[in-house]
Homo-oligomer: A and B are copies of this chain.
Amino acid sequence: MKRFMTAIVILASSPALALNAIPDGVPTPSDNPMSSAKVELGKQLFFDPRLSIDGTVSCNSCHNVMASGTDNRPTSVGVNGQRGGRNAPTVWNSAFLTTQFWDGRAATLEDQAKGPPLNPIEMGMPSEQAVVDRLSTIPGYKKQFEAIFGAVTYDNMAKAIAAYERTLITINSPFDRYMKGDKKAMSNKAISGMKRFEQVGCSSCHNGVNFAGPALDTGTGFFQKFPVHNNPLIAKYKLADDKGRYEVTKDKADINTWRVPSLRNIAVTAPYFHNGAVNSLGEAVRVMAASQLDKKLSATEVDEIVAFLESLTGEFPVQTMPRLPDISGSSLVGAIK
């Protein structure tokens, strides 16, 4: 009873009960332990455009870690100028997501990393074997794969990339510093915005470490229908055209359901939503309030919530550039015109 009372007191006094500072460690699967050699290999692979058929697109092309982990485009551009249908989610802090892709079609970072190389409108490699053959031809890769995993395989490529991605954690956002006790880390406006974020109802879905829902087991998606309430913004931004998770499950209950996206670094990962149709964070807040909560926010409410969301922009740790392993005397993509 005493514990219960304490909880009530905290709930009443702290508007951020459901919100958490970023933790020190990341969830790591037991079959893919971290090592510095594996992370370094994964970084090379992440930045290597030779994972695409014509040598022009790397993981980093759409998930730019030197920026905010995305390409800041509505949808991404793959090989031969082809455009995808959905906005590239940021790779930063993706280690905290319990399911991957907008529609949750991959359970883990490892599973996710196996998608884009073979997607014809992304990196366009014809088969897993074609990727393995190419990597095996590069002595520097072959040597690293053999030392770390024993062999070059497509699954091992994905494991290395996932290990690197687990190092991509932004730290010390004003919000994190505030939650750890530095009450001056957030502006008064941002603190007001945090309260509104909870009062209005945003945090009923956008909670937890990554503002992407509760701490579920890896592979367990936290999905929500979007949009829920009809309003003119939905047609304006074509937000209901893509059926979302239904395209994976073909279950009618999944029509227009999506993984709840993270709000960390949301201010620097415009444009917004699965189709990237909304370019302004303020407008994105208005869309969410109208479509999910059936509320029309005042300009002040939007401004304050935006100030709070801006406080979720963390520090992006300095990294060294990878050195992509060379092959000597010819080019793997040189014969492709």
Contact in complex: B47, A71 (CB < 8 Å):
no
Set of chain B residues within 8 Å of A84, measured between Cβ atoms: none
This chain's copy number in the assembly? 2
* A window 250-289: CB within 8 A of B: 267-268, 270-271, 276, 279-282
Residue among A61, A68, A81, A336 with the highest chain B CB neighbour number at 10 A: A81
Binds B, one of A94-102, A141-149, A310-318: A310-318
Choose among B72, B81, B333 the residue that contacts A72 (Cβ–Cβ < 8 A). B333
User: Given A55-B73, A281-B330, A334-B72, are A320 and B319 also a contact pair (CB < 8 Å)?
Assistant: yes
Spot the interface stretch: A173-181, A183-191, A217-225, A321-329: A321-329
- The number of chain A residues touching the other chain, given as a range, is 35 or more
Partner of A56, one of B73, B316, B326: B73
User: A72-B333, A271-B334, A334-B279 known; A326 and B67 CB under 8 Å?
Assistant: yes
Q: Digitize A61-81: 1 where CB-to-B-CB distance is under 8 Å, 0 elsewhere.
A: 100111110011110010111
Question: Is A104 at the interface (CB under 8 A from chain B)?
Answer: no
A54 at the interface (CB under 8 A from B): yes
Output the least CB separation between A337 and chain B (Å). Answer: 6
Bound complex: CA of A68 vs CA of B329, how far in Å? 12
Contact yes or no, B66 A321, CB < 8 A: yes
Cα–Cα distance between A224 and B329 once the two chains are bound (Å) = 24
**Quick check: A331 and B279 within 8 Å, CB to CB?**
yes
Which residues on A are within 8 Å of B, measured CB to CB? Answer: 47, 49-50, 54-56, 61, 64-68, 71-74, 77, 79-82, 267-268, 270-271, 276, 279-282, 306, 310, 313, 316, 318-324, 326-337
